[in-house]
Structure 1
């Protein structure tokens, strides 16, 4: 069976206080769309990582129908670097685990949501370069989604596959479904 791992990486820092409800609404919309298409739901596995000063695994990789919602924002900054370093470890571990189950793993998709203003302005790029390394066998497609007054330049550096901006009227759930459907012929 083919499996598509999808990683929802959500900024839950203090700067996102006005956007957590929008993110949760998008996650509910996405979960509903997956529920409506059982063929997609059978192949899709979702992991949720929240980050502020430090990243946290909020939901390990599991069927998309079990997608959790985010809690409130953390009273902390927005460090992109630790999030990318942590995510590289999580993706690598998950892909190895899926392959050990003899599943055919498609190229993972990372859906990175933030207001796009990292507090580790000068250091996150090195962690992202390792995360986006073309020689890494598990290197995912990365879609960036900006909320609020997102820094589109920063998000443009992160979105190796696509960049969406909520201020353009794009909803989180729709952007996530479009991203999974359009990141390549081997996807959902």
Structure 2
């Protein structure tokens, strides 16, 4: 089970929300697979998160409106970085292997975190946009039905008005069908996006994911600054070795 209940998260993450009254907030969350299969890649992953934060806060529009949180999961899940303004995030903690691959607990941890974060932002009269979640995994869960049910009953469109836009990134042993299950929404005009990176070099894959996440966040915050508020996952260059698509349509 998740290491954080909603009440505990409100205490542990209390210092991250630093906004002016009425400020717009665009929340972004990274959900990172830290199961045993990722153990050899955690140093690279931590470095990529540090670089992502540094690159994002160098863009004034992004640093002004974006907030970032990080959730790590294996057989348990934990909040590694509470949702915070980019300029207030210090050193990224060391990442450690967390056991097996339980997508369900990852979504339970996110559900607790986002509810607490939303309440804290609204308590400061902040204006919060729909959250965006970037989910990175190199495998698949033991029970594919279970995690989808957990997500839909906690964060699906029938469970909350603030359901997230979810972008799934997979590599190594992650099947495309599982990534499609993670991506959300699967209805209406804006469909969740999924990306299966075929490169076998974890460093190259994680760097590519970092760049795609960076571009997506910067694009979202820049369009928001112009009043357009468009959030769409950025696609890789045509030459990239990536299979990708929306929930039910391959581009």
Give the TM-score band, short-chain normalised: 0.7 to 0.9
TM-score by length of 1: 0.87
Cα deviation, residue 187, structure 1: 5.4
Gaps of 5+ in 1: none
Q: Secondary structure at the match of 1:85?
A: helix
Q: Which residue of 2 aligns with 1:112?
A: 135
Q: 2:194 aligns with which of 152, 163, 167?
A: 163
Q: Could you say which structure has the greater relative contact order, defined with CA pairs below 8 angstroms and 6 or more residues apart? A: 1
Q: In the aligned structure 2, how far is the partner of 1:113 from the partner of 1:22?
A: 14
Q: CA RMSD in A?
A: 2.3
Q: Any idea what the Cα deviations from partners look like across 1:145-173, whole Å, max 9, x if unmatched?
A: 11323222101111122222333566121
Secondary structure class of the residue paired with 1:78 = coil
The 4+ residue runs of structure 1 with deviation greater than 6 A are: none
After superposition, residues 34-49 of structure 1 pair within 5 angstroms as 34-49=56-71
Q: For 2:122, which of 85, 99, 104 is the aligned residue?
A: 99
Matching residue of 1:73? 97
Question: What residue in structure 1 maps to residue 212 of structure 2?
Answer: 175
Number of residue-to-residue matches in the alignment: 187
Return the index of the structure with the highest Cα Rg: 2
Equivalent residue number for residue 167 of structure 2: 143
- Find the residue that maps to 1:98 and give its secondary structure: helix
Q: In the alignment, what sits opposite 1:186?
A: 229
- What is the TM-score when the length of structure 2 is the normalising length? 0.67
